[in-house]
Amino acid sequence: MHSEGQAIGGRSMESMTGQLLVATPTLKDPNFDRTVVLLVAHEAGGALGVVLNRATEVPVSDVLGEWGELAGEPSVLFEGGPVQPESAICLARMRTPAQRVKGFNRISGAVGTVDLSVDPDRLRASVLGIRVFAGYSGWEPGQVEHEISAGSWFVLDALPGDPFIDRPDDLWQMVLRRQGGIMAAVAHFPPDVALN
């Protein structure tokens, strides 16, 4: 899908598709404060991702009917980001990484996007779980690279279960803690230093 070393944002770098952008404590944009974003696509035209740790109260089944039966706990819609909140992106985790299923687009390993126009019954036997995101996070060419070099994001490896964690509010701290060292210490950084 992506060739290593292609020109992204005007310079040669590897695609970060499938990696996590973890907001640093210095990122004060309320859209991304303490968020963990899975990059669904990162190429010369820019980057697209979904925020993994912003659950809503809206059940998937209320909006997408039978898809709700495939959604893991919590089986609610998530706020994927500020762009096109009326659109939906569905992530799925397949039972086996190499599995080819119509309507499934692999991002990394067993994780990919699913076409919501497909009958969910066709995927039931192949999928461990899904998560549906209203809206997404998008960056112009070179923008995400600039934000990373400015210290707004840590770029970290994703584990297959990260997008489907049953306690999404804990994901930011959990991902930082598993890095160890100074990164683990950042997980305990207070939300508002002025309150300390």
Q: Which domains does the chain have, with CATH numbers?
A: 7-195 (3.40.1740.10)
Kindly report whether the global pTM for this prediction surpasses the value 0.75. yes
Please name which of 45, 145, 133, 129 lies closest in space to residue 81, comparing C-alpha atoms: 133
Q: What share of the chain is helix, strand, coil (3-state, %, to 5)?
A: 20, 35, 45
**DSSP-based three-state secondary structure for 135:** strand
- Distance from C-alpha of 50 to C-alpha of 79, rounded to nearest angstrom: 8
Q: How far apart are CA 53 and CA 170, in angstroms?
A: 8
What is the spatial distance between Cα 6 and Cα 38, in angstroms, rounded to a whole number? 20
* Three-state secondary structure call for residue 39: strand
List per-residue pLDDT tens for the chain, 196 residues long: 333 444 444 444 588 999 999 999 989 899 999 999 999 999 999 999 999 999 999 999 999 999 999 999 999 999 999 999 999 999 999 988 777 788 899 999 999 999 999 999 988 889 999 999 999 999 999 999 999 999 999 999 999 999 999 999 999 999 999 999 988 888 887 766 544 4
Q: Which of these, 18, 13, 22, lies nearest to 39 by C-alpha position?
A: 18
Cβ neighbours of residue 147 closer than 8 Å, sequence gap 6 or more: 139, 153
Q: C-alpha distances in angstroms, 169 versus 13, 132, 157, 162?
A: 32, 16, 19, 12
> Among all chains, which residue has been given the structure tokens 């490896």?
157
Q: Is the dihedral of CA 12, 43, 37, 150 positive or negative?
A: positive
- Note every long-range contact of 105-112, with CB atoms under 8 Å and residues 24 or more positions apart, other chains counting: 107/17, 107/18, 107/38, 107/40, 108/17, 108/18, 108/158, 109/18, 109/160, 110/160, 111/18, 111/158, 111/160, 111/163
